[in-house]
Structure 1
Amino acid sequence: MEFLAGEGASYGYRKLTVLLRRRHGLQINKKKVYRLCKQMDVLRPQRQLKFKYPKRLANNRVLTGSNQLWETDIKYGLIHGEQRFFFLLSIIDVFDRAIITYHI
């Protein structure tokens, strides 16, 4: 287990499984490597994922009906035959997520 020694070792159980299979030719499953690493107490804490969506920008507003708050959405795509881009601008009602108007 010299791969786990040292401060800068960044081997997780998946990388360690691949390493044991390739270098040492072991038939070993990643779940078994995980169990062994857990018993040896060499697992690092799992990172916490930071969710970026959904972004709710209207957190400080109380919406009771439609047409009180609108959002804009811009999308673009490629017109294949002409090798040109197009843009689509939509105005969306936040209360019921309906499209108020759009512009191409």
Structure 2
Amino acid sequence: MTEFDEILKLEIEARKKIEQAEKKAERIKQEGIKQAEEVLSQVQKEVEDYRKEKQIELEENIANLKQELETNFKLRVEKIRGVFEHNKERLKSIIYSVLGFN
């Protein structure tokens, strides 16, 4: 085997090793991309689940506040009615007293 043949043989072996290394690098790259996509998908799912959970909590809080406002409004209306009735009775009493019906 001549020196040229040896160099050619070494060059062929080197190219094969480079090809193998490039294939391995591409495979590792693709695996990394796949793992990154899986992680991204999982994070997106968790974010969506969290958003839904918070939306439900918000809707519950709104419903509770609405109920609380309605209850407070009804209580205030009843209180005002009570004061009105009391004042109405006092006014009647004063009018009857002034007119001498007492």
TM-score range, shorter chain: under 0.3
Normalised by the size of structure 2, how large is the TM-score?
A: 0.20
From the CA coordinates, give the structure whose radius of gyration is larger.
Answer: 2
Normalised by the size of structure 1, how large is the TM-score?
A: 0.19
Higher relative contact order (CA 8 A, sep 6+): 1
